[in-house]
Amino acid sequence: MPPTQSHRIIDIHTHPAFFQEEVDHADVRRLIRYGRKFGIERMVILGDVLRYGRLPSASQIRSINDQTAALVEAYPDYFLGFCYVNPKLGDRLVRKEIARCVRLGFCGIKLEISCNAADRAMAPVMEEAARYGLPVLQHTADQTNIRERAFHSDPADTATLGGRYPEVQIIMAHLTSVGLRGVREIEEYRNVVVDTSAFQPVAGLVAYAVARLGAERVVYGSDLVIRDLGSSVGRVLAADISRSERRAVLFDNARRILRNGGADV
């Protein structure tokens, strides 16, 4: 096996704080050391998005984003921040929070399960994303068995979002939870990429995504702390793809997306 450290990696999908109002900085430093051991040079913090449930209030959203900002400020060479928003809070509050996050230096927007990606409430989020040039990372999971589509996005919904806003870079989260159909749902939407995070390292899935979408549309992510880094990095290292494709998935694509969002990466 080639040493993991020989790969440069950016992790575009992490939650270093998970149901934690206060983070222990000794734990964070340990996490960074662990990440570096796997070759992970930078991590994108998406926020402690489920701490207050599915529909956080405006103040709860600010609290989550403030925590992200504090971590980015404490470890600026390692962490980058995405702005978590609840589109159901309405036009004014959504635009206000995104503007505040931009001032804080965030370089993307994170959406969880407050509303379905095809919901019209997404309009202000996507308009602000286009205005600031920010990528939008949308949590997505196949809803065939989960059956929460009223608020939980199926890959078809994230594809719909991509079709409505072709000028916005969208990252559909969770390759394993969207599966083969998820890859096909976004295939015709060139502004939508998929991240490799979450669930088990299902054999063949990364290679399938690369074959269908092209390596430039598959981005490494772990979903840390919900998943382990060995499992997350290992599924890309094990994939039957070329060396240059692997480099694109692990590093180049995220760097391109984050730079387009204004990050110094």
Partner 1 sequence: MFDVNTAVGEWPFQRHGVNTIPELRLRLKQAGVSGALVSHLGCVLAEDPLPYNSDLFADLGRSRKLLPVPVVNPRLPGWEKDLAGLYGRRRRPIAIKVLPAYHNYTLRSPRFNELVAYCVAHAVPILLQLRLDDERTRYFGLKVRVVKPSHVVDLADRWPAARVILLNAYLPEVREIAASTRNTWFDTSFAEWFYTSRLIREAVPPGRILFGSHTPLLETRAAAMKIFDGPITAGLAQRIGHENATKLFDLP
* Residues 114-143 interacting with partner 1 (rule: CB under 8 A): 141-142
**Count of C-beta atoms within a 10 Å radius of residue 86:** 26
32 belongs to the binding site for partner 1 (CB under 8 A): no
CB 65 within 8 A of CB 37: no
CB of 249 to partner 1, least distance (A): 14
Tell me which of 78, 79, 199, 220 binds partner 1, using CB under 8 A.
Answer: 199
Q: Which residues fall within 8 angstroms of residue 38, CB to CB, at 6 or more apart?
A: 4, 5, 9, 229, 230, 233
Rank residues 192 and 229 by Cβ distance to partner 1 and give the closer one: 229
Tell me which of 19, 53, 146, 259 binds partner 1, using CB under 8 A.
Answer: 146
47 belongs to the binding site for partner 1 (CB under 8 A): no
CB 138 within 8 A of CB 102: no
| Nearest alpha carbon to residue 84 among 72, 66, 70 | 66
38 belongs to the binding site for partner 1 (CB under 8 A): yes
CB of 149 to partner 1, least distance (A): 14
d(CA 258, CA 139): 18
Tokens describing residue 39: 């070759």
d(CA 111, CA 251): 22
Q: Which stretch binds partner 1 (CB under 8 A): 47-55, 64-72, 98-106, 225-233?
A: 225-233
Q: Which stretch binds partner 1 (CB under 8 A): 81-89, 155-163, 233-241, 254-262?
A: 233-241
> Helix, strand, or coil here: 9?
strand
CB of 202 to partner 1, least distance (A): 6
Chain positions contacting partner 1, by CB under 8 A: 1, 4, 31, 34, 37-38, 141-142, 144-146, 176-177, 179, 199-204, 224-235, 237-240
